[in-house]
Structure 1
Amino acid sequence: MGIFPPCSSSEMFENLLGTVCGKIRDAPKIEEMKIKGTVVLMKKNVMEMTDVGASFLDRVHEIFGKGVSLQLISASHADPANGSRGKLGKEAYLENWVSKFTSLSAKDDATFNITFDWDESMGVPGAFIIRNHHHSQFYLKKFTLEDIPGQGQIQFVCNSWVYPTHRYKYDRVFFAYETYLPCNTPEPLRAYREDELINLRGDGSGMLKEWDRVYDYAFYNDLGSPEKGPEYARPVLGGSKEFPYPRRGRTGRRPNKKDSNLESRLPLLNLNIYVPRDERFSHVKFSDFLSYSLKSLGQVLVPEIGAVFDETINEFDKFQDIHDLYEGGIKLPESDTLKNTREFIPWESFKKLLHSDGDRLLQFPTPDIIKNDRTAWRTDEEFGREMLAGVNPVIIRRLKEFPPASKLDPKVYGNQNSSMTREHIEKNMNGLTVEEAIADNRLFILDYHDVLTPYLRRINTTTTKTYASRTVLLLQDNGTLMPLAIELSREQPDENVHDPICEVFTTSEHGIENSKWQLAKAYAAVNDSGYHQLISHWLNTHAVIEPFVIATNRQLSVLHPIYKLLQPHFRDTMNINALARHTLVNAGGILERTVFPARYAMEMSSVLYKNWNFTEQALPEDLLKRGVAVKDPSHRHGLRLLIEDYPYAVDGLEIWSAIKDWVSDYCSIYYNTDDMIQSDSELQSWWMELREEGHGDLKDEPWWPKMQTNDELVQTCTIIIWVASALHAAVNFGQYPYAGYLPNRPTVSRRFMPEPDTPEHAELESNPDLSFLKTITAQFQTLLGVSLIEILSQHSTEEIYLGQRDTSEWPSDKEKEAFTRFSNKLVKIENEIIERNNDQGLRNRVGPVNVPYTLLYPNTSDYSKKGGLTGRGIPNSISI
């Protein structure tokens, strides 16, 4: 019989329909609404000009309904049918793309309106999917939703290139500008968060294309070109005990045809080296940087430059020849051909490339070191001062024993202990004995002996003729460092004899001894210049930071607070490093052509990386290790500087402290207990990958922080920000001010100290300036090197400095308030630096050359917007 009462079919249908309709009528109504939004983006541009072809195709696509769509994702309501991911709203399209024309300027943004259908059952949007059905990519800056019930405005800070949809195997997802630890992420967004990290890691295979967003690791196996001959072969750096190295970003290029362990290199003029698209320079910055890339084509310029100068090709005959580079230059011919050429060559860009002022070629800006006095750089006081306030103020250390001892194995290298005696130095120590000076912390040393000795024999088989130097200095009562003696050591002619050939030179003011003393300082400066460029600058900032960039993007979501803290300090670093591998540190590149270790430069930096210690990159730890400071709780920063007037250390400690306070304030917003750090899955994966992959060759070192406490997190993040910002600024942006005049910081020595009874010795007696110029960097190397460091010392007009941000949005008021305190503190520090530079009692602040120490100015003023060779300012990141 069944459970229903007997009735006709029509009656049954009417009863059922009435029941359903009643339920629908009685159910709560779903409020449908329209949500308005605005999207800010920059359309594809090429060299600051809109790509007309791409623009036309985009408009055609729009006509056929292939526009740019956005789809909101709920942060509060999950869809069980979609893996419990947030519910998806209906797709909506940017409005008026076809009719909206943007200017030709690459800097101009386009703003588009968009309207979404939404209802209360979807909850609050927390992310969105964007699909670009156009022909070309665009740069998505920001997306704002208005009048969200219960929320008001929701901001999405995107700052990412979005390529056509067919280029991706996944949806491009952007999250609201919020911050969540992994455990606090709204459940509907967790899978999207995890998926995004998986996409950024890639699958570890294949050649990466410009639209790929993959961050992955590789060895430095892209420096050599063995197919050109054995002189262009270079070892793989990284992955071995012999040649350890930080990892670089993977490109996936094909293996080298000559050696499958190496990656093939791109042609020199092809600068389209893979880095994730969002890590690449802006169009404006890339355009400026082209001049650097062209200058690396030194071999093309050799005959042209050589033909311009006098009969002693590739030699400066007198110091005035060098000054002419800044004061006169070379007159460009006014031929009919040249006039006609101007009609089709971008003449202003050409003149900028060739350092032309008006119609004069190769006229360089005058370096600060000779602006006020042409010869003050040669004084002993300035020589010592630059170890404290020059471009490489991070090496000098306190001398704790005399004579200086070597740590090299005597069974391999022989007796490498110093040949200096007390007679060499006590005559200029103002009555002090060596023992008294050591006990009173008065003796300091610039020591390149042990780091260079293992490579001297190989280096000196090239055109270079250099020494391993030790320079001992006395801290005087007026706070300046006075060089006392310089020991120059080189290898024996006989390979089987290990004890070095050593000679000690002491300060002298007259005659041939003064000429030899000036040469000895030049040899020491050559050592300092090469070590600075290879280790202090390249290895200890550029190379060691790149693994942090990669690991942060692979393991920390954009929603993670530590990602938001660190990401501004990684801007442009992967791009500048990729270009450096392409034209600067590669086999036959500009570094090998201009710095004394030549073909052994990168190999030597690999050997020295064995001594790198992450925790010692903290400025206080570095100062303590070098013995230039001692712990003292009664002093500011808990340290007492043994050289009170040490501009780099004094200013640096203020900056370090400000960074650490900011990091501590920021981290305390998200981590209340050490347990929260230990249970943060993304943070722990990030730190493990940094040690085991990014710096994998040093993964077993005991000094790595364990990342178990708040103190470890704060110290780690402070070190990263310090290295990427202030340390890099201190060793980079002073290059042109101090080394743009190469006699002050020669990069190569081409012959040894003249021996008595030789023509070279006679020349040193009769014409010491000519002998000096024939010893240091040659003319073409000078032009190439000065051109390079001029570019590297330039601040971009779009630079973002410490204490500044590229967005005004903040996830919370607490972060904003902490950052405001940080910015205000930097303003105060800058004013204090200015006061110290004006204090005439602090002789190391400006020195005999009258160049104030400004490299650690935070540059929070509008002055920073000018860019150029300012010699001041701390950019947020290693961006050049």
Structure 2
Amino acid sequence: MAKFRVRVSTGEAFGAGTWDKISVSIVGTRGETPPLPLDRLGKEFNAGAEEDFEVTPPEDVGRVLLVRVHKAPPARSRPLAPSAGDAWFCRWLQLTPHGAAPLCFPCYQWLEGERSLVLREGTAKISWEDHHPTLQQQRREELQARRETYRAQKDSCLWKGAGLDQGLEESATLYPLSVGSLRLLADCLLALPSSWKTYIPGWPRCLDEETVKNLNLNIKYSVAKNTTFYLRGGSALAELKLKGLLDRKGLWKSLKEMRRVFNFRKTPAVEYVCEHWQEDAFFAYQFLNGLNPVLIRRCHHLPKNFPVTDAMVAPVLGPGTSLQAELEKGSLFLVDYDLLAGVRTNVINGRPQFSTAPMTLLYQRPGRGPLLPLAIQLSQTPGPNSPIFLPSDDKWDWLLAKTWVRNAEFSIHEALTHLLQAHLVPEVFALATLRQLPHCHPLFKLLIPHTRYTLHINTLARERLIAPGQVVDRSTGLGIGGFSELIQKNMKQLNYSALCLPDDIRARGVEDIPDYYYRDDGMQIWGAVERFVSEMIGIYYPSDESVRDDSELQAWVWEIFSEGFLGRESSGLPSTLGTREALIQYVTMVIFNCSAKHSAVSAGQFDFAAWMPNLPPSMQLPPPTSKGQARLEGFLATLPPVNATCDVVIALWLLSKEPGDRRPLGTYPDEYFTEEAPRRSIAAFQSRLAEISRDIQERNHSLALPYPYLDPPLIENSVSI
């Protein structure tokens, strides 16, 4: 019988090798071989090894369709081997029939315990390209197994909720799909449980796991990443514990004391913030290039509940102009924290905390002059007890008003921009990808690098960060109760255009405001991702009809819509996709939000918040109801207590720095694609990102405060911290 040469590549990570026995079954058009041992003298399958074996099937199986990889403990124990079956990370398997070209079978998965795994040849295939019954069955069985692994709670079927389980001809008039595609999609979805875990009602649904200990190895942190993560946190925790700060519930004695305490983790950006945090220009700058650069919008009409007058702003606007003239010119901008109105607040160290829903009006000077604040109102209700604070007010009145705005910025950023939009929404993308797209699907191959470790970090966040009694509850002004209300409010407003950077920039009217590096760098990266995705979609989808006929793609889109956005049609998020153009935008949106958007709103957390007065997580006194009362003592008494400050700063130190085992944007060491066309597109994407990086670094050399958060080598492929 014909022989096969089998080459196996084992991962390089710690613990990737195995003492267990590995065998393969070759599945072809004429049948399947029994398990063929991959064995030779000495130990096989060491970490980082590529090893060759020769196997001889007992009979001809015809054209090769699949390879089953079997892992089992050895018949007799070996010295130094684990007593129980150990895990093995298989990168890929190459099968070379006698006299024929090699076939590559990508894997990039952990095998735990005694189990088998089916691998397909690496050519990406959409479901309508699989004609052999064995391949069709393999797709179904793989997805069913994945849905069991990344399980959902069992309720009523989501497809029934959409009304598509009856009247397919009628449904075809409502959705841009053929009747045949709808039937395939309905069959697929009717077999599934409907909903994922509801962590808090009104939030996007999530993975149904309580702790990272229970996670499948394929979505867990590597040993290297996990170790670095806990060592970083432990060192900071130990230092503050030794200084007695984590147990100190009182007020800060002075601003100088704060500065001395947080010398232990200084960065150039932290130093800059410490020096400039009181300046109006830096206060305004942070709306463009700080932690939360997604709120500022052009203001053509003042809100009725923000009664700013010409006399109030004349000192900043100068002579020869007026409020109305500047509104018409488009030189005024608004940041409104209205979502904070009425949100519940927390109790820290037995003391009630306070929150406001402020509004800030800003002015862009002619030319390239700095953006400056004009006026601040600390509530949504004007009146005698809600004065409008101005730059011309007493120093401490104005600084206290700005600090209340920065506290609102902390709450909105951490609850919405960061937790909701940069963690919970990407988790939906990751989980739907694992549950609805088989390993051979081109979109799975394209997207899986952008889901790496997302389920681990989000499960860890639910376990250690936002669970009752954890960091958010112990140390922030809103606590998890306030965070929950904010997310529930925002979920009713969050829309598709806010997730698509070009649409978001247009909607906020900030296309031409100068020195907006988040916009400038983000648009370059969006363009590079969009071009890359367009090339990849062009390879695998020849027409709009091919998009509509991909039932797995449609199930993926539907699950994101129903589980992530709770089936809310007003979100504008597609529930189906009918054209290649729509698919390109959608996939670009997914990759951008899982990589660049997360970096922009996460990587700078420690830089901007380590100097706590610049971004206080809570406020211990109520907001001022009149002017002329603020003093340094009252300012310090308003800021969060020492232990809460330290708690938050340690968390932000951890969450703003990738703990090793990094994969920057566009880096794909796991080679899921084996064809030449997608490999060429990946190389072109990497070249474009390198050009963008050179441009950003050249610009940053001339800036007093560089903006590095969207430099491609510093952007992680996925939400992994």
Sort the TM-score into its range (normalised by shorter chain): 0.7 to 0.9
* TM-score scaled by length of structure 2: 0.85
For the pair 1:516 / 2:357, whether they are aligned, the reply is no
Instruction: Report the secondary structure of 2:578's partner residue.
Output: coil
Kindly state the Cα deviation for residue 145 of structure 1 after the two structures are TM-superposed: 2.8
Aligned to 1:343: none
Which residue, 241, 245, 266 being the options, matches 2:203? 245
Instruction: Report the secondary structure of 1:378's partner residue.
Output: coil
For the pair 1:71 / 2:25, whether they are aligned, the reply is yes
Aligned to 2:700: 837
Kindly state the Cα deviation for residue 586 of structure 1 after the two structures are TM-superposed: 1.3
Partners of 1:175 and 1:815 in 2: how far apart? 18
Instruction: Report the secondary structure of 1:791's partner residue.
Output: helix
For the pair 1:276 / 2:216, whether they are aligned, the reply is yes
CA RMSD, 1 decimal: 3.2
Which residue, 758, 772, 785 being the options, matches 2:648? 785
Structure 1: unaligned runs, 5 residues or longer: 1-31, 79-86, 103-107, 208-213, 222-236, 239-243, 252-264, 266-270, 328-363, 406-416, 492-497, 629-640, 840-845, 860-872
Kindly state the Cα deviation for residue 175 of structure 1 after the two structures are TM-superposed: 1.6
Aligned to 2:556: 686
Q: Cα deviations across residues 709-755 of structure 1 (Å, max 9, x unaligned)?
A: 00110010000011001100000001111112212211111113567
Which residue, 737, 741, 744 being the options, matches 2:614? 744
For the pair 1:88 / 2:37, whether they are aligned, the reply is no
Partners of 1:97 and 1:163 in 2: how far apart? 24
What are the within-5 Å matches in structure 2 for residues 201-600 of structure 1? 201-202=147-148, 217-221=195-199, 237-238=200-201, 244-251=202-209, 272-291=212-231, 306=244, 314-327=250-263, 364-372=264-272, 374-402=274-302, 404-405=303-304, 417-431=305-319, 432-448=321-337, 450-455=338-343, 463-477=352-366, 478-489=368-379, 501-508=385-392, 513-598=394-479, 599-600=481-482
Aligned to 2:2: 33
Q: Cα deviations across residues 416-440 of structure 1 (Å, max 9, x unaligned)?
A: x224333222331123211111111
For the pair 1:858 / 2:712, whether they are aligned, the reply is yes
Kindly state the Cα deviation for residue 481 of structure 1 after the two structures are TM-superposed: 0.8
Higher relative contact order (CA 8 A, sep 6+): 2
Partners of 2:657 and 2:142 in 1: how far apart? 36
Instruction: Report the secondary structure of 1:536's partner residue.
Output: helix
What are the within-5 Å matches in structure 2 for residues 606-755 of structure 1? 606-628=488-510, 641-698=511-568, 701-704=571-574, 706-753=576-623
Residue 198 of structure 2 contacts residue 206 of structure 2 at CA under 8 Å; is this kept in 1? yes
Q: Cα deviations across residues 117-172 of structure 1 (Å, max 9, x unaligned)?
A: 1488423434211222123232332333354356422222211111223xx6xx42
Structure 2: unaligned runs, 5 residues or longer: 74-83, 155-191
Partners of 1:172 and 1:603 in 2: how far apart? 43
Instruction: Report the secondary structure of 2:362's partner residue.
Output: strand
Partners of 1:308 and 1:128 in 2: how far apart? 55
Q: Cα deviations across residues 236-262 of structure 1 (Å, max 9, x unaligned)?
A: x23xxxxx22110123xxxxxxxxxxx
Q: Cα deviations across residues 637-690 of structure 1 (Å, max 9, x unaligned)?
A: xxxx23032111011111111110000011000111101111112112222222
Aligned to 2:670: 807
Q: Cα deviations across residues 248-290 of structure 1 (Å, max 9, x unaligned)?
A: 0123xxxxxxxxxxxxx6xxxxx54433331111111111223
Kindly state the Cα deviation for residue 616 of structure 1 after the two structures are TM-superposed: 2.8
Q: 1:205 to 1:605 in 2, by over 3 A?
A: closer
For the pair 1:821 / 2:716, whether they are aligned, the reply is no
Residue 216 of structure 1 contacts residue 249 of structure 1 at CA under 8 Å; is this kept in 2? no
- Counterpart of 2:651, as a letter, is L
Partners of 2:107 and 2:25 in 1: how far apart? 15
- Counterpart of 2:557, as a letter, is W
Aligned to 2:161: none
For the pair 1:185 / 2:130, whether they are aligned, the reply is yes
Kindly state the Cα deviation for residue 774 of structure 1 after the two structures are TM-superposed: 2.4
Partners of 2:284 and 2:41 in 1: how far apart? 63
Kindly state the Cα deviation for residue 303 of structure 1 after the two structures are TM-superposed: 8.6
Residue 35 of structure 1 contacts residue 145 of structure 1 at CA under 8 Å; is this kept in 2? no
Partners of 1:553 and 1:308 in 2: how far apart? 40
- Counterpart of 1:324, as a letter, is R
Q: Cα deviations across residues 787-831 of structure 1 (Å, max 9, x unaligned)?
A: 111111112332111121123563211111111111111111111
Which residue, 77, 81, 86 being the options, matches 1:137? 86
Partners of 1:566 and 1:288 in 2: how far apart? 26
Kindly state the Cα deviation for residue 192 of structure 1 after the two structures are TM-superposed: 1.3
Q: Cα deviations across residues 359-380 of structure 1 (Å, max 9, x unaligned)?
A: xxxxx31143343574222111
Partners of 2:437 and 2:583 in 1: how far apart? 14
Instruction: Report the secondary structure of 1:800's partner residue.
Output: coil
Aligned to 2:717: 876
Instruction: Report the secondary structure of 1:704's partner residue.
Output: coil
Kindly state the Cα deviation for residue 72 of structure 1 after the two structures are TM-superposed: 1.5
Partners of 2:34 and 2:717 in 1: how far apart? 40
Partners of 1:606 and 1:292 in 2: how far apart? 33
Q: Cα deviations across residues 510-565 of structure 1 (Å, max 9, x unaligned)?
A: xx811111111110000001110110011011101212212211211111111111
Partners of 1:128 and 1:682 in 2: how far apart? 23
Instruction: Report the secondary structure of 1:502's partner residue.
Output: coil
Q: 1:704 to 1:462 in 2, by over 3 A?
A: farther
Residue 370 of structure 1 contacts residue 377 of structure 1 at CA under 8 Å; is this kept in 2? no
Partners of 1:555 and 1:578 in 2: how far apart? 20
Instruction: Report the secondary structure of 1:489's partner residue.
Output: coil
Report percent identity of matched pairs: 25
Partners of 1:457 and 1:709 in 2: how far apart? 46
Residue 569 of structure 1 contacts residue 877 of structure 1 at CA under 8 Å; is this kept in 2? yes
Aligned length: 668
Partners of 1:730 and 1:184 in 2: how far apart? 39
Q: 1:38 to 1:752 in 2, by over 3 A?
A: same
Partners of 2:346 and 2:466 in 1: how far apart? 18
Kindly state the Cα deviation for residue 705 of structure 1 after the two structures are TM-superposed: 5.8
Instruction: Report the secondary structure of 1:692's partner residue.
Output: helix
Q: Cα deviations across residues 332-374 of structure 1 (Å, max 9, x unaligned)?
A: xxxxxxxxxxxxxxxxxxxxxxxxxxxxxxxx31143343574
